[in-house]
């Protein structure tokens, strides 16, 4: 595992306590797991994601990530309807390890309440949480 200083945490994202990241673009929220989360999990071998059209409340489990070490649940940082799923992860789950922010994103959501994003952490607050 890497030191926190070796990991990538883009400034333009918001982060949940469960290590999901979000990026709002044109009314849609893209969601994935942080570089810290993928590093802790190790080699990711399977990603289970919902279907387009599924709806979730904030905090609800929406999928799982399986690594050689463990299976971890994914939790919605905002409530809403799934509008897109990164289907590339079915064949290439290692994309999450290679680049959790671009190639390894998981779902796009049409947020029911975009203000829920305001409760998420910016880069500095998330780093403070990781450093404990």
What CATH number is associated with residue 126? 2.40.50.100
pLDDT per residue as tens, the chain (132 positions): 899 999 999 999 999 999 999 999 888 999 999 999 999 999 999 999 999 999 999 999 999 999 999 999 999 999 999 999 999 999 999 999 999 999 999 999 999 999 999 999 999 999 999 998
Structure tokens at 36: 């810290």
DSSP assignment of 27-71 equals TEEEEEE-HHHHHHH-SEEEEE---TT-EE-TT-EEEEEEESS-E
* Residue 48 structural domain: 4-131
Domain count, the chain: 1
Burial of 3 (0-12, 13-18, 19+ CB in 10 A): exposed
The residues pairing with 9 across neighbouring beta strands, listed in sequence order, are none
């Amino acid at each position: 595992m890497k030191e926190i200083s070796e990991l990538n945490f883009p400034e333009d994202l918001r982060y949940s306590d469960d290590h999901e990241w979000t990026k709002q673009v044109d009314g849609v929220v893209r969601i994935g797991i942080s570089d810290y989360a993928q590093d802790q999990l190790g080699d990711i071998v399977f990603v289970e994601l919902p279907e387009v059209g599924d709806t979730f409340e904030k905090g609800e489990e929406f999928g799982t990530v399986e690594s050689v070490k463990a299976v971890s649940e994914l939790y919605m940082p905002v409530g809403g309807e799934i509008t897109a799923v990164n289907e590339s992860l079915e064949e290439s789950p290692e994309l999450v390890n290679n680049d959790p922010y671009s190639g390894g994103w998981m779902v796009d959501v049409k947020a029911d309440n975009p203000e829920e994003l305001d409760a998420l952490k910016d880069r500095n607050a998330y780093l403070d949480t990781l450093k404990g």
